[in-house]
Structure 1
Amino acid sequence: MIHFVLLISRQGKVRLTKWYSTYSKKERTKCDNDILRKVIRELSGVILTRGPKLCNFVEWRGLKVVYKRYASLYFCMCIDPDGNELEILEIIHHYVEVLDRYFGSVCELDLIYNFHKAYYILDEILISGEFQEPSKRSIVRSVAAQDSLVETAKEQTGSISNILAQAAK
């Protein structure tokens, strides 16, 4: 099972986070944001300081973190200690390929300005921390369908706004 997914820039800025595991009662009594910031700060410090020739697996707090750097982003997934690291590397690569297909040579700015689409694509691939959809074509088709629904809703909202504006005159 995947506990969480992080996308971190080379400067240590978090670009995307998705959490699949819950915290214990002791951890929940503290402020949630402080816990998350501490986890992200600690983990990004470990990953960003590693050399490029070292392996992409890190043991951290009794769990394994699998990461891969693509351009200026580190894609990180935290898994159980007995999880399959190579499978997680494939899931990371699958996610990057789908992002590439959707955005056309994805870059960090695509994820900053279209973070909702990056989350939607991730939700199509992973459900509750488990790999669900291996078909890139199916994922891109689903995201395109969502985009057309959003455009339709925007057009309807715009036309309703125009009608209300004219009625108010």
Structure 2
Amino acid sequence: MINAVLVFNNSGQPRLTKFYSQLDTSVQQRLISEIFTLVSHRPDSACNFLPLPPLLASSSKPTTPSEPHNDTPSLITYRHYATLYFIIISTSTESPLALLDLIQVFVEALDRLFENVCELDLIFNFETLHAVLAEMIVGGVVVETALDKVVEGVKSQGRVAKRPVNESRSGGGLGLGSFGRAGDLVWAGR
């Protein structure tokens, strides 16, 4: 099960925080802060998976011993594209490789919908960002991974924000960088 999907910029500012499991706000804030610190300080040669820190994992365990522990968050899977980190927190029952593929489809769907997506698109069009995620994950369960179906689902909802006609897309505007076309996604080595 997927417990959370997080997107941060390189400075640690959250661009998306979606939790699928019930956690206190203070635990969520601590989780967001510590996860970004862990992921952003990893060397480029490190793999894209790491265990959830014990301090955080213990705060989200079931309160009664009779409840199963297989739904306890225990794994962080992430990818770093251009100026953004895409992070999924899941249980150990999820395949880390499948989660990397899910992140890839998420980014490619955003890229298709925004035609060279950049960080500003995510900031000012968060409805589209959430609509893409809702097409892919419902209640922490992956329901769709076909890129074309995800994009068409969002378009059919009318949730794609339109840019002003005069807006120039050359150079990424404020130097925030774009992800490039879907076939040319820039992966920052992680």
**Fold equivalence (TM over 0.5):** yes
Number of aligned residues? 143
Q: What is the distance in 1 between the residues matched to 2:147 and 2:46?
A: 30
Match of 1:43 in 2: 35
Question: Which is worse superposed, 103-112 or 53-62?
Answer: 53-62
Instruction: Please report the TM-score for the alignment, with normalisation by the length of structure 2.
Output: 0.70
Which is bigger in relative contact order (C-alpha 8 A, separation at least 6)?
Answer: 2
Match of 2:44 in 1: 52
Cα RMSD, aligned residues only: 2.0
Question: CA offsets per residue over residues 21-42 of structure 1, 9 Å max, x none?
Answer: 123xxxxxxxx43222111111
The reply on whether 1:99 has 2:91 as its aligned counterpart is: no
Match of 1:71 in 2: 82
Q: What is the distance in 2 between the residues matched to 1:55 and 1:105?
A: 27
Q: How far off its partner does 1:150 sit?
A: 9.5
Q: How far off its partner does 1:115 sit?
A: 0.7
Match of 1:6 in 2: 6
Letter in 2 for 1:3: N
- For structure 2, the 5+ residue unaligned runs are 58-73, 163-190
Q: Given the superposition, is the C-alpha separation of residues 108 and 4 from structure 1 closer, same or farther in structure 2, using an over 3 Å criterion? A: same
Q: How far off its partner does 1:80 sit?
A: 0.9
The reply on whether 1:87 has 2:90 as its aligned counterpart is: no
Question: Which is worse superposed, 71-80 or 34-43?
Answer: 34-43
Match of 1:28 in 2: none
Instruction: Please report the TM-score for the alignment, with normalisation by the length of structure 1.
Output: 0.78
Query: Aligned to 1:123, which of 107, 114, 134?
Result: 134
Indicate the structure (1 or 2) with the bigger Cα radius of gyration.
1
Q: What is the distance in 1 between the residues matched to 2:132 and 2:39?
A: 24
Q: What is the distance in 1 between the residues matched to 2:112 and 2:160?
A: 20
Match of 1:144 in 2: 155
Letter in 2 for 1:6: L
Q: Do the aligned residues in 1 keep the contact of 2:128 with 2:159 (CA within 8 Å)?
A: no
Say which SS state the counterpart of residue 147 (structure 1) adopts: coil
Q: Given the superposition, is the C-alpha separation of residues 114 and 69 from structure 1 closer, same or farther in structure 2, using an over 3 Å criterion? A: same
Q: What is the distance in 2 between the residues matched to 1:124 and 1:102?
A: 13
Question: CA offsets per residue over residues 123-153 of structure 1, 9 Å max, x none?
Answer: 00111111111222222222222227999xx
Identity fraction in percent:
34
Q: Do the aligned residues in 1 keep the contact of 2:128 with 2:161 (CA within 8 Å)?
A: no
